[in-house]
Amino acid sequence: MDWFKIALPIFFLCFCFFYKNGNTDNIISLEISYPKGFLETNIPLNCDDISRMNISLKVDTLLTESKVLLEIEDQMKKLKELKQDNLQSICDIRMECNVKYANGSIVRLCLGRRNCILKNNIRMEVNDTLIYLIRKYSGYYCYFTKGDLIYFDEIKQFGVPNEYKDLSLKSDSNGIPIPPPIPK
């Protein structure tokens, strides 16, 4: 019986420690890669194409702020597999995300045109909220003109983020692209 008196408080302390420090399945970081602005291609891109893209053509972002990650995690929990064709090639991917969890697991999330979502190469139902959060916090919208943003379904629903700054490529009078200003 003495072991029970000792073990019970230890068990209680361990329980409180793990409960207080949160679930080990929580997202701890989100690595995001995407091309700058509109990228016209003859064939649809897959998730691997984004990671192989020339570094000067894409943006790499790391999200670690817990409030942001919790918002994204809540939406990821709502993802449901699309019961139709789950071929990656029809998605025309424009964003690759590596979602890292506290338990060491990694989920690969790929976002495409028309708000297509692939989770570990399986097609998911559209979740405009998740897409908006990832694009907003990664700065994705900034590489499009304000006029171009009307083509994003989720912008129609949630509006242009307050943090939006136009970093899209401009052209000079000869049609030569002018690089975007360096973000501050």
User: Does 140 fall in a domain?
Assistant: yes
Query: Which pLDDT value is given to residue 91?
Result: 87
Query: What residue numbers bound the domain in which 150 lies?
Result: 19-178
User: Does 83 fall in a domain?
Assistant: yes
Q: How far is CA 101 from CA 20, 40, 144, in A?
A: 17, 33, 31
User: Does 11 fall in a domain?
Assistant: no
Task: Name the nearest CA neighbour of 95 among 108, 111, 80, 109.
Answer: 111
User: Does 6 fall in a domain?
Assistant: no
Span 128-179, pLDDT tens digits: 999 999 999 999 999 999 999 999 999 999 999 999 999 886 655 555 555 5
User: Does 3 fall in a domain?
Assistant: no
Cα distance between residue 7 and residue 184, in whole Å: 55
Q: How many domains does the chain have?
A: 1
Mean pLDDT of each 10-residue bin along the chain, 184 residues long: 53 43 77 91 89 88 96 97 65 95 97 94 94 97 94 95 87 56 50
